[in-house]
Chains A and B, each alone.
Chain A
Amino acid sequence: MKIAVLIKSVPDSEARIQLASDGKDWVRKDVKFDLNPFDEYAIEAALQLKEANGGPVTVVSFGPAEIMETLRKALAIGADDAIHAVGEANADPIVTAKVLANAIQGRGFELILAGKAAIDDDYMAIGTMVATALDLPAVSVVVKFTIADNKATCEREIDGGIEVVETTLPAVITCQKGLNEPRYPSLKGIMAAKKKTIEQLEVVVDVPMVTVEKYTYPEPRKGGRFLGKGVEDVPELIRLLKEEARVI
Chain B
Amino acid sequence: MKILVWVETINGKAIGSSLGTLSEARVLAGEGAVAVLVFDGAAAGECGKFGADEVYVMNNQALQTYSNEGYAAALQQGMTASGADTLLLTASVAGRDVAPRVAMMLSAALIVDVTSIKVDGETITAIHPVFAGKANQHLTTSAGKKVISTRPKAFLPQEHQRAGTVKEISVILPTIRAKVIETKVVSGGRPLLTEADIIVSGGRGLKAPENFHLVEELADALGAALGASRAVVDAGWRPHEEQVGQTGKTVSPSLYFAIGISGAVQHLAGMNSAKTIVAINPDAQAPIFKVADYGIVADAFEVVPKLIELLKS
Decide if B109 touches A227 in the complex (CB within 8 Å): no
Cα distance A161–B109 in the bound complex, in angstroms: 31
Decide if B247 touches A216 in the complex (CB within 8 Å): no
Residue of A161, A213, A226, A241 near B138 (CB, 8 A) is A213
Q: Determine if A212 is an interface residue (Cβ-Cβ < 8 Å).
A: yes
Decide if A129 touches B183 in the complex (CB within 8 Å): no
Which residues of chain B are near A157, meaning CB under 8 Å?
Answer: 93, 240-241
Q: Determine if A223 is an interface residue (Cβ-Cβ < 8 Å).
A: yes
Cα distance A228–B111 in the bound complex, in angstroms: 42
Which residues of chain A are near B177, meaning CB under 8 Å?
Answer: 136-137, 167-168, 171
Which residues of chain B are near A93, meaning CB under 8 Å?
Answer: 100, 103, 110
Q: Determine if A164 is an interface residue (Cβ-Cβ < 8 Å).
A: yes
| Known pairs A132-B100, A218-B129; A225 contacts B291 (CB<8 A) | no
Q: Which A107-123 residues have C-beta < 8 A from chain B?
A: 119-123
Q: Which A1-36 residues have C-beta < 8 A from chain B?
A: 11, 13, 15-17, 19, 26
Cα distance A237–B74 in the bound complex, in angstroms: 48
Decide if B193 touches A159 in the complex (CB within 8 Å): yes
Decide if A125 touches B110 in the complex (CB within 8 Å): yes
A-B interface, 7 closest residue pairs, ranked by CB to CB distance from nearest: A160-B187, A167-B178, A228-B296, A137-B178, A209-B109, A137-B177, A125-B100
A-B contact sample (13 more), CB < 8 A, given A97-B104, A164-B180: A16-B134, A97-B100, A120-B131, A122-B130, A124-B96, A137-B69, A168-B177, A211-B141, A221-B277, A223-B289, A223-B291, A227-B297, A230-B302
User: Count the B residues whose beta carbon is within 8 Å of the partner chain — how many?
Assistant: 85
Residue of A nearest to B282 (CB): A230
Q: Closest Cβ of chain A: how far from B211's Cβ, in Å?
A: 16
For this complex, 24 residue pairs linking A to B, each with C-beta atoms less than 8 Å apart, are A16-B134, A94-B103, A94-B107, A121-B128, A121-B130, A122-B128, A122-B132, A123-B110, A157-B240, A157-B241, A160-B185, A162-B183, A162-B184, A162-B241, A163-B182, A164-B184, A177-B247, A210-B143, A212-B139, A231-B303, A233-B298, A234-B306, A245-B255, A245-B275
Residue of B113, B140, B307 near A210 (CB, 8 A) is B140
Which residues of chain B are near A216, meaning CB under 8 Å?
Answer: 135-136, 138
Interface-side segment among A72-80, A138-146, A184-192: A138-146
> What sequence of 0s and 1s flags, for each residue 157-201 of chain B, a beta carbon within 8 Å of any chain A beta carbon?
000000000000000000001111111111100001111011000
Residue of A nearest to B179 (CB): A166
Cα distance A210–B18 in the bound complex, in angstroms: 24
Cα distance A217–B141 in the bound complex, in angstroms: 21
Q: Closest Cβ of chain A: how far from B73's Cβ, in Å?
A: 11
| Known pairs A93-B110, A132-B104, A223-B292; A159 contacts B93 (CB<8 A) | yes
> What sequence of 0s and 1s flags, for each residue 259-298 of chain B, a beta carbon within 8 Å of any chain A beta carbon?
0000000100000100111100000000001111111111
Which residues of chain A are near B132, meaning CB under 8 Å?
Answer: 13, 119, 122
Which residues of chain B are near A148, meaning CB under 8 Å?
Answer: none
Residue of B nearest to A233 (CB): B296
| Known pairs A17-B131, A159-B194, A166-B179; A143 contacts B296 (CB<8 A) | no
